[in-house]
Amino acid sequence: MLYADYLSTAEMQRWILDTDIDWNAVDRRLALEQPDLLDRVRDSALIESFFPLFTPRALDVLWDDVAATAVFSIQLYESYKHFHVFNQYLQCVDYRPIDDAEIVEIRRRNQGLRYDCPTELLTRYMMSEHFAAHHFFKDSRQAREPVLSRILQLVGRDEVRHAQFAYDLLDMRIRRDPRQADVVIRSARDFEHIGLAVVSEIPVAEKNDFTAVVTLNQKIERLTGRRMGALSTSEIDHEHQPQSALET
């Protein structure tokens, strides 16, 4: 049932790369006035390009969760679509587009990647997508080039949906086994962004984003029925993420 609902939502919200984005309207001069933003777009593209390796590893540990494996099949499609739209934009403005060799090198150094706890993985994934959505929306507002602003809005909406499906999957796991709430809380406190397997520093529009952390605390409290006061901005901030990588 979860897959059917998620698929319906994904279909209703789906955007089309060639018709929903006006590539002829891209203003290269305006885009190049914000190189820091383009660097964040590039790092985000690299993270999204990692999902064809990440997803099979996630499916390995989630093999007996039919709903999770079904929903991740959509997530893989959408994540690589995010890579493609970001990289096509970089090509369009001629700003350090990503080639296959760079993607392969990232995958090569992560060949040994494995996950051993499904609840921990889903918690990390939910949190990574939550932060990604917040920062794509903020970068969308900061972007002076209108086409990039629209792209970031569209991708941010997808990330909200990804975070929500991870929340729903975790909710199902806790309902089946209430002890999983402990795993969620522990994983949240020990959070490392999934993208840190790809880049050394997570691309964020604003460090120590109080709003993102507060809304995440509220989400985890609803999920587990426990207050998360210990989850503070000092524990989940973007100064710490580079020590552990982005993802999504």
Q: What pLDDT score was predicted for residue 207?
A: 78
What are the start-end ranges of the H helices in 111-209? Answer: 118-142, 146-176, 180-189
Chain centroid, CA 133 distance in Å: 7
Q: What distance in Å separates the CA atoms of residue 44 and residue 25, rounded to the nearest whole number?
A: 22
Q: What distance in Å separates the CA atoms of residue 98 and residue 50, rounded to the nearest whole number?
A: 13
Q: What pLDDT score was predicted for residue 120?
A: 97
Is the CB of residue 155 less than 8 Å from the CB of residue 134?
A: no
pLDDT in single tens digits along all 248 residues of the chain: 677 776 777 787 888 999 999 999 999 999 999 999 999 999 999 999 999 999 999 999 999 999 999 999 889 999 999 999 999 999 999 999 999 999 999 999 999 999 999 999 999 999 999 999 999 999 999 999 999 999 999 999 999 999 999 999 999 999 999 999 999 999 999 999 999 999 999 998 777 788 898 999 999 999 999 876 544 333 333 333 333 333 33
Q: What pLDDT score was predicted for residue 248?
A: 34
pTM of the shown model = 0.88
Structural domains of the chain in order of their starting residue, each with its CATH number = 2-8+32-243 (1.10.620)
Q: What pLDDT score was predicted for residue 229?
A: 56
Q: What pLDDT score was predicted for residue 14?
A: 87
Q: What pLDDT score was predicted for residue 228?
A: 67
